[in-house]
C-alpha cells in the first residue's frame, strides 16, 4: 500500500493490489475521519493500524463516497466508527452489497471476516459539514459513476476527495454519462489544490485543467461513437476494436484494468441508449 501526506493532518492511501483504489484520513486532535476503505481487508487494516499507532488517534467517522465493494466493505474493521454516506448508498449496500458479499465469500477466503456495515448517518440533498480539529469537511453529492456518489472537500486546504466521480478513466456503467460529465465540470471549477481520485494518483493543481479536459473529451467521444454505432444494424460489431485512444484518451493504467473498464462503458451505453430508444418509439 502506498501512503502520502497530502497536507497538514491529511493523508492518502493507495492500493497495490486492486485498481489503484484510494482512501484518505483527516486527523484531528482527538479523533480521525476516514474517507473510504480499501478493497481488501489486509490493506484496510494496514491503514487502520497506521492511524491508530502512528497518528495515535481512533477513527470516529467513516465517510463512504459510494457503495462499491472497493470503497465501503471495510467499514466493519472500524467497529466504533459512525458511517456517513448518501441515503442511496445505504439502500444500495443493502440491496446489492449484501448479496454480492455472499458471492464474493464463496470465491475468496479474504472476505471471511468482512460484513457489510450500513451507514448510520445519511443525507440525500444539499451538503453536510463535519469539523475535524481546525478543518471543515464539506460533504456534497458527486454523481455519474454511481447514483449515490459523494465527494468530500477539505475547505482549508482546497483538497477534494472525489470518490469515483473523478477517475483516470471515467466509468459510468453503474451511473450516467451526463451526470459524470456534470460532476467533472463542477470539480474543474472548484479552484482546487489537489483532486484525490477514487482510483489512481493524486492530481496536482497544475494538472487539474488538463485532467478535466481529457475526461470530458473522453465522455464526449464515447457518446458520439456509441450514438453512431446505434444507427448501424449491429452496434456491438461496430464498436468492436474501439480502444480508449479512439476516444481521445491515452496512457491510463489503473492496475491494468483500464481497457476492460472502457469496453464495459461501451457495452453499458449501447444497452442504456438502445432501451431509451425503444421506450421513445412506444
Ligand atoms: Zn472504485
Asked whether residue 34 carries a pLDDT value surpassing 90, the answer given is yes
pLDDT at 280: 65
Instruction: Report the alpha-carbon distance of residue 233 to residue 178 in Å, rounded.
Output: 25
pLDDT at 254: 83
Give the model confidence (pLDDT) of 79-100 as tens digits.
999 999 999 999 999 999 999 9
Instruction: Report the alpha-carbon distance of residue 26 to residue 11 in Å, rounded.
Output: 7
Asked whether residue 250 carries a pLDDT value surpassing 90, the answer given is no
- Residues 213-235 have a mean pLDDT of 95
CA distances, 52 to each of 59, 62, 78 (Å): 8, 14, 11
Q: How far is the CA of 278 from the centre of ligand 1 (A)?
A: 31
Q: Over the Cα atoms of the chain, what is R_g? A: 19
Q: How far is the CA of 231 from the centre of ligand 1 (A)?
A: 32
Q: How far is the CA of 187 from the centre of ligand 1 (A)?
A: 18
Q: Which residues contact 206 (CB under 8 A, 6 or more apart)?
A: none
Q: How far is the CA of 97 from the centre of ligand 1 (A)?
A: 14
Percent of the chain with pLDDT over 90: 90
Asked whether residue 277 carries a pLDDT value surpassing 80, the answer given is no
- Residues 269-278 have a mean pLDDT of 84
Q: How far is the CA of 71 from the centre of ligand 1 (A)?
A: 6
**Prediction pTM value:** 0.95
Asked whether residue 251 carries a pLDDT value surpassing 80, the answer given is no
Mind giving me the DSSP string for 205-227?
A: HHHHHHHHHHHHHHHHHHHHHHH
Instruction: Report the alpha-carbon distance of residue 60 to residue 75 in Å, rounded.
Output: 12
Q: How far is the CA of 214 from the centre of ligand 1 (A)?
A: 19
Give the model confidence (pLDDT) of 138-178 as tens digits.
999 999 999 999 999 999 999 999 999 999 999 999 999 99
- Give ion ligand 1 contacts, CB < 5 A: 68, 70, 164, 198
pLDDT at 70: 97
Least confident piece of the model among 130-144, 231-245, 267-281:
267-281
Asked whether residue 39 carries a pLDDT value surpassing 70, the answer given is yes
pLDDT at 253: 76
Q: Is 98 helix (H, G, I), strand (E, B) or coil?
A: helix
Give the model confidence (pLDDT) of 21-32 as tens digits.
999 999 999 999
The chain-wide mean pLDDT, for the chain, equals 95
Amino acid at each position: 500500500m502506498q501512503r502520502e501526506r497530502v497536507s497538514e493532518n491529511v493523508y492518502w492511501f493507495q492500493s497495490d493490489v486492486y485498481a489503484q483504489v484510494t482512501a484518505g484520513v483527516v486527523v484531528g486532535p482527538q479523533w480521525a475521519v476516514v474517507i473510504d476503505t480499501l478493497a481488501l481487508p489486509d490493506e484496510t487494516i494496514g491503514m487502520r493500524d497506521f492511524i491508530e499507532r502512528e497518528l495515535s488517534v481512533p477513527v470516529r467517522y467513516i465517510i463512504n463516497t459510494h457503495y462499491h465493494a472497493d470503497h465501503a466493505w471495510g467499514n466493519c474493521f472500524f467497529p466504533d466508527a459512525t458511517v456517513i454516506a448518501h441515503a442511496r448508498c445505504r439502500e444500495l449496500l443493502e440491496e446489492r452489497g449484501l448479496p454480492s458479499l455472499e458471492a464474493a465469500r464463496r470465491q475468496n477466503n479474504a472476505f471471511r471476516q468482512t460484513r457489510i456495515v450500513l451507514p448510520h448517518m445519511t443525507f440525500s440533498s444539499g451538503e453536510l459539514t463535519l469539523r475535524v480539529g481546525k478543518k471543515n469537511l464539506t460533504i456534497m453529492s458527486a454523481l455519474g459513476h454511481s447514483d449515490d456518489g459523494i465527494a468530500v472537500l477539505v475547505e482549508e486546504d482546497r483538497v477534494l476527495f472525489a470518490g469515483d466521480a473523478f477517475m483516470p478513466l471515467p466509468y459510468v456503467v453503474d451511473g450516467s454519462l451526463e451526470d459524470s460529465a456534470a460532476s467533472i465540470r463542477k470539480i474543474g471549477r472548484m479552484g482546487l489544490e489537489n483532486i484525490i481520485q477514487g482510483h489512481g494518483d493524486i492530481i496536482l493543481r497544475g494538472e487539474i485543467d488538463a485532467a478535466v479536459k481529457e475526461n470530458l473529451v473522453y465522455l464526449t467521444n464515447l457518446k458520439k461513437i456509441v450514438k453512431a454505432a446505434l444507427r448501424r444494424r449491429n452496434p456491438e460489431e461496430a464498436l468492436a476494436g474501439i480502444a480508449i485512444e479512439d476516444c481521445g484518451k491515452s496512457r491510463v493504467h489503473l492496475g491494468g484494468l483500464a481497457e476492460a473498464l472502457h469496453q464495459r462503458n461501451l457495452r453499458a451505453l449501447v444497452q442504456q441508449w438502445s432501451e431509451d430508444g425503444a421506450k421513445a418509439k412506444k
